[in-house]
Amino acid sequence: MGKYGAEFFGTFWLVLGGCGSAVLAAAFPEVGIGLLGVALAFGLTVLTMAFAIGHISGCHLNPAVSVGLWAAGRFPANQLAPYIIAQVLGGIVAGGVLYVIASGAAGFDVSAGFASNGYGEHSPGGYSLLAALVCEIVMTMFFLIVILGATDSRAPAGFAGIPIGLALTLIHLISIPVTNTSVNPARSTGVAVYVGDWAVSQLWLFWLAPIVGAVLGAAAYRLIGGSRN
């Protein structure tokens, strides 16, 4: 249960820190943190949790990462379902806490997006479904390559959280304009359920694309890194 609790609280922190920065601080009058700040916030959530719970659960915080690690032979299949359930629940509870905080300000409108992921008219930059699909697949693929490389037994020990957190920051810098950046089904679900409507109807893409990307990333790392891990 310690592993599942760690994944719950770790994913809670990721959604509260990352989505919270987007909802509460990105466009705050005159001193908003903007796209760069939101990207950094997501990276910092993973970096901090990697050192806090990495030794307990491996700090997946993401159903796609768990699936990718399984596909790479690094994670047992019988733990996939409980990990994913813990991650999604952590994301949804964090979304609820964020909703309570954000709704305390006059003029709050959850239908404006609430940091949800989207494509087409709900993409920040108006990007198409195909563009969003390709972006999420490729970003998640490279995220898994970084994760697998940083945690490889041949890599320097004790530093994995740094490149992984920086990789997530870079991914957000690239793809926030396209989809608001998911690469994580739990992160997407955690806020979409409070928006409902279009956010839920488009949620399928932000489950499908990251999982496909994660499996491709695992295959790519097996190709370049060999069977040792």
Q: Three-state DSSP class for 180? A: coil
CATH number of the structural domain spanning residue 6? 1.20.1080.10
Examine residue 63 and state whether it is found in any structural domain, yes or no. yes
pLDDT at 112: 83
pLDDT at 28: 73
In this prediction the pTM is 0.93
Q: What is the pLDDT of residues 144-195, one digit of tens each?
A: 999 999 999 898 888 999 999 999 999 999 999 999 999 999 999 999 999 9
Whole-angstrom Cα distance, residue 164 to residue 147?
Answer: 6
121 vs 113, more confident = 121
Examine residue 110 and state whether it is found in any structural domain, yes or no. no
Quick one: what percent of the chain has pLDDT higher than 70?
98
Examine residue 121 and state whether it is found in any structural domain, yes or no. yes
Q: What is the pLDDT of residues 8-44, one digit of tens each?
A: 999 999 999 999 999 999 877 677 788 999 999 999 9
- State how many domains the chain has: 1
Q: Three-state DSSP class for 175? A: helix
pLDDT at 229: 60
pLDDT at 85: 97
Residue 228 scores a pLDDT above 60: no
Examine residue 66 and state whether it is found in any structural domain, yes or no. yes
pLDDT at 27: 78
Nearest to 58 by CA among 38, 87, 17: 87
Examine residue 58 and state whether it is found in any structural domain, yes or no. yes
Examine residue 124 and state whether it is found in any structural domain, yes or no. yes
Query: How much is the average pLDDT of 203-229?
Result: 91
Query: How much is the average pLDDT of 201-205?
Result: 97
Residue 115 scores a pLDDT above 90: yes
Q: What is the b/e burial string over 67-99, where b = at least 16 CB atoms within 10 angstroms of the residue's CB? A: bbbbbbebbeeebeeebbebbbbbbbbbbeebb
Residue 170 is part of which domain span?
2-103+115-225
Quick one: what percent of the chain has pLDDT higher than 90?
87
Examine residue 108 and state whether it is found in any structural domain, yes or no. no
Examine residue 81 and state whether it is found in any structural domain, yes or no. yes
CB 148 within 8 A of CB 221: yes
Lookup: tokens for 194:
């409070």
- Average pLDDT in the chain: 94
